[in-house]
Amino acid sequence: MQDWIVHLFHEYPVLVYGVIIIISWIEGPILALFCGLLIKLNAAPLIPVYFALMVGDLCGDVFWYFIGYHFGHRFIKRFGHYFSITEESITVIKKIFNKYKGHILIISKITMGFGFALVTLITAGIIKIPFKQYFTLNFIGQFVWTATLLFIGYEFGNVYLSINGILGKMFVVALFVIAFAALLGYGKYIKNRVMKKSTSL
Protein backbone atom coordinates (compact mmCIF):
# COMPACT_ATOMS: atom_id res chain seq x y z
CA MET A 1 0.00 0.00 0.00
CA GLN A 2 2.87 2.35 0.79
CA ASP A 3 4.28 1.98 -2.74
CA TRP A 4 0.81 2.62 -4.18
CA ILE A 5 0.47 5.87 -2.22
CA VAL A 6 3.93 7.00 -3.34
CA HIS A 7 2.90 6.23 -6.93
CA LEU A 8 -0.23 8.37 -6.56
CA PHE A 9 1.76 11.36 -5.26
CA HIS A 10 4.23 11.10 -8.14
CA GLU A 11 1.85 10.35 -10.99
CA TYR A 12 -1.30 12.26 -9.99
CA PRO A 13 -0.19 15.14 -7.73
CA VAL A 14 -3.01 17.51 -8.73
CA LEU A 15 -5.63 14.87 -8.01
CA VAL A 16 -4.05 13.81 -4.71
CA TYR A 17 -3.64 17.34 -3.37
CA GLY A 18 -7.14 18.21 -4.55
CA VAL A 19 -8.51 15.28 -2.57
CA ILE A 20 -6.49 16.34 0.49
CA ILE A 21 -7.90 19.88 0.26
CA ILE A 22 -11.49 18.62 -0.05
CA ILE A 23 -11.22 16.09 2.79
CA SER A 24 -9.41 18.53 5.08
CA TRP A 25 -12.28 20.96 4.51
CA ILE A 26 -14.64 18.31 5.91
CA GLU A 27 -12.46 16.54 8.49
CA GLY A 28 -9.05 18.15 8.70
CA PRO A 29 -7.68 16.87 12.04
CA ILE A 30 -8.05 13.15 11.29
CA LEU A 31 -6.59 13.56 7.80
CA ALA A 32 -3.66 15.58 9.17
CA LEU A 33 -2.85 12.83 11.66
CA PHE A 34 -2.96 10.24 8.88
CA CYS A 35 -0.75 12.41 6.66
CA GLY A 36 1.77 12.70 9.49
CA LEU A 37 1.96 8.91 9.51
CA LEU A 38 2.42 8.84 5.71
CA ILE A 39 5.25 11.37 5.99
CA LYS A 40 6.97 9.16 8.57
CA LEU A 41 6.63 6.22 6.19
CA ASN A 42 8.17 8.34 3.40
CA ALA A 43 4.96 7.89 1.43
CA ALA A 44 4.11 11.60 1.26
CA PRO A 45 6.13 14.86 1.01
CA LEU A 46 5.97 17.18 4.01
CA ILE A 47 5.72 20.71 2.59
CA PRO A 48 3.11 20.19 -0.18
CA VAL A 49 0.92 18.07 2.13
CA TYR A 50 1.26 20.64 4.91
CA PHE A 51 0.04 23.49 2.74
CA ALA A 52 -2.71 21.41 1.11
CA LEU A 53 -4.08 20.63 4.57
CA MET A 54 -3.94 24.31 5.51
CA VAL A 55 -5.65 25.41 2.31
CA GLY A 56 -8.50 22.93 2.79
CA ASP A 57 -9.12 23.87 6.40
CA LEU A 58 -8.89 27.61 5.70
CA CYS A 59 -11.35 27.26 2.81
CA GLY A 60 -13.78 25.79 5.31
CA ASP A 61 -13.15 28.69 7.69
CA VAL A 62 -13.88 31.22 4.94
CA PHE A 63 -17.03 29.35 3.90
CA TRP A 64 -18.50 29.36 7.42
CA TYR A 65 -17.56 33.00 7.96
CA PHE A 66 -19.56 34.05 4.90
CA ILE A 67 -22.45 31.81 5.92
CA GLY A 68 -22.58 33.73 9.22
CA TYR A 69 -21.97 37.09 7.55
CA HIS A 70 -24.66 36.81 4.88
CA PHE A 71 -27.23 34.42 6.34
CA GLY A 72 -26.54 34.48 10.10
CA HIS A 73 -29.56 33.77 12.26
CA ARG A 74 -31.68 32.63 9.29
CA PHE A 75 -29.21 29.82 8.70
CA ILE A 76 -29.15 28.89 12.40
CA LYS A 77 -32.93 28.82 12.58
CA ARG A 78 -33.32 26.63 9.52
CA PHE A 79 -30.23 24.40 9.52
CA GLY A 80 -28.58 24.86 12.93
CA HIS A 81 -29.90 21.59 14.37
CA TYR A 82 -28.04 19.67 11.67
CA PHE A 83 -24.75 21.07 13.00
CA SER A 84 -25.61 21.16 16.73
CA ILE A 85 -25.71 24.96 16.62
CA THR A 86 -28.33 26.88 18.59
CA GLU A 87 -29.11 30.51 19.23
CA GLU A 88 -27.98 29.90 22.82
CA SER A 89 -24.54 28.76 21.69
CA ILE A 90 -24.28 31.80 19.39
CA THR A 91 -25.07 34.04 22.37
CA VAL A 92 -22.36 32.34 24.46
CA ILE A 93 -19.73 32.79 21.74
CA LYS A 94 -20.72 36.44 21.29
CA LYS A 95 -19.95 37.00 24.97
CA ILE A 96 -16.59 35.26 24.56
CA PHE A 97 -15.79 37.43 21.53
CA ASN A 98 -16.61 40.53 23.57
CA LYS A 99 -14.17 39.41 26.26
CA TYR A 100 -11.30 38.03 24.17
CA LYS A 101 -11.91 39.81 20.85
CA GLY A 102 -10.42 38.10 17.81
CA HIS A 103 -7.91 36.08 19.80
CA ILE A 104 -10.62 33.50 20.50
CA LEU A 105 -10.24 32.47 16.85
CA ILE A 106 -6.67 31.30 17.44
CA ILE A 107 -7.61 29.59 20.69
CA SER A 108 -10.54 27.86 19.02
CA LYS A 109 -8.37 26.68 16.14
CA ILE A 110 -5.63 25.10 18.23
CA THR A 111 -8.06 23.46 20.68
CA MET A 112 -10.59 22.23 18.08
CA GLY A 113 -12.91 24.79 19.62
CA PHE A 114 -13.65 22.69 22.73
CA GLY A 115 -16.93 21.85 21.06
CA PHE A 116 -17.50 25.39 19.74
CA ALA A 117 -15.31 25.36 16.61
CA LEU A 118 -18.04 25.69 13.98
CA VAL A 119 -20.23 28.04 15.97
CA THR A 120 -17.18 30.26 16.59
CA LEU A 121 -16.55 30.61 12.85
CA ILE A 122 -20.19 31.39 12.09
CA THR A 123 -20.45 33.86 14.98
CA ALA A 124 -17.40 35.71 13.68
CA GLY A 125 -19.36 36.30 10.48
CA ILE A 126 -22.56 37.22 12.31
CA ILE A 127 -20.85 39.93 14.37
CA LYS A 128 -18.95 40.96 11.22
CA ILE A 129 -15.37 40.77 12.39
CA PRO A 130 -13.29 42.37 9.58
CA PHE A 131 -12.45 39.60 7.12
CA LYS A 132 -8.76 40.51 6.95
CA GLN A 133 -8.45 40.18 10.73
CA TYR A 134 -10.52 36.98 10.71
CA PHE A 135 -8.41 35.34 8.01
CA THR A 136 -5.08 36.43 9.52
CA LEU A 137 -5.92 35.02 12.96
CA ASN A 138 -7.25 31.78 11.50
CA PHE A 139 -4.14 31.46 9.33
CA ILE A 140 -1.87 31.79 12.37
CA GLY A 141 -3.91 29.27 14.34
CA GLN A 142 -4.09 26.88 11.38
CA PHE A 143 -0.34 27.09 10.83
CA VAL A 144 0.30 25.94 14.39
CA TRP A 145 -2.55 23.41 14.52
CA THR A 146 -1.66 21.66 11.25
CA ALA A 147 1.99 21.41 12.29
CA THR A 148 0.95 19.97 15.66
CA LEU A 149 -1.30 17.31 14.11
CA LEU A 150 1.32 16.32 11.55
CA PHE A 151 3.88 16.00 14.33
CA ILE A 152 1.55 13.79 16.39
CA GLY A 153 0.87 11.60 13.37
CA TYR A 154 4.60 11.44 12.63
CA GLU A 155 5.43 10.42 16.20
CA PHE A 156 2.64 7.86 16.11
CA GLY A 157 4.41 6.44 13.07
CA ASN A 158 7.58 6.11 15.15
CA VAL A 159 5.75 4.12 17.80
CA TYR A 160 3.88 2.06 15.20
CA LEU A 161 7.07 1.07 13.40
CA SER A 162 8.85 0.20 16.65
CA ILE A 163 6.22 -2.39 17.60
CA ASN A 164 6.63 -5.91 16.30
CA GLY A 165 3.67 -8.15 15.56
CA ILE A 166 0.19 -7.41 14.25
CA LEU A 167 -1.45 -7.52 17.70
CA GLY A 168 0.98 -4.94 19.07
CA LYS A 169 0.34 -2.65 16.12
CA MET A 170 -3.43 -3.06 16.50
CA PHE A 171 -3.13 -2.18 20.19
CA VAL A 172 -1.21 1.02 19.37
CA VAL A 173 -3.80 2.02 16.77
CA ALA A 174 -6.65 1.33 19.23
CA LEU A 175 -4.92 3.44 21.91
CA PHE A 176 -4.50 6.28 19.44
CA VAL A 177 -8.18 6.17 18.42
CA ILE A 178 -9.31 6.07 22.06
CA ALA A 179 -7.12 9.07 22.94
CA PHE A 180 -8.53 11.07 20.03
CA ALA A 181 -12.10 10.14 20.95
CA ALA A 182 -11.43 11.13 24.56
CA LEU A 183 -10.22 14.55 23.40
CA LEU A 184 -13.41 15.05 21.40
CA GLY A 185 -15.48 13.92 24.38
CA TYR A 186 -13.66 16.38 26.63
CA GLY A 187 -14.47 19.14 24.16
CA LYS A 188 -18.18 18.30 24.35
CA TYR A 189 -17.95 18.22 28.15
CA ILE A 190 -16.43 21.71 28.22
CA LYS A 191 -19.12 22.93 25.82
CA ASN A 192 -21.89 21.61 28.05
CA ARG A 193 -20.31 23.18 31.13
CA VAL A 194 -20.02 26.55 29.41
CA MET A 195 -23.61 26.37 28.15
CA LYS A 196 -24.99 25.48 31.60
CA LYS A 197 -22.98 28.23 33.29
CA SER A 198 -24.13 30.75 30.71
CA THR A 199 -27.82 29.88 31.02
CA SER A 200 -27.64 30.05 34.81
CA LEU A 201 -26.34 33.62 34.79
- Provide mean pLDDT across the span 145-157: 86
* pLDDT digit string, tens, across residues 82-97: 887 888 888 888 887 8
* pLDDT digit string, tens, across residues 88-132: 888 888 887 877 766 778 777 766 644 567 888 898 899 899 999
Length of the chain: 201
Q: In whole angstroms, give the CA distance from residue 53 to residue 50.
A: 5
Q: In whole angstroms, give the CA distance from residue 183 to residue 31.
A: 16
Q: Which residues contact 87 (CB under 8 A, 6 or more apart)?
A: 73, 76, 77, 80
More confident residue, 200 or 9: 9
- Provide mean pLDDT across the span 135-143: 89
| pLDDT reading at 61 higher than 80 | yes
Q: In whole angstroms, give the CA distance from residue 126 to residue 73.
A: 8
pLDDT at 109: 74
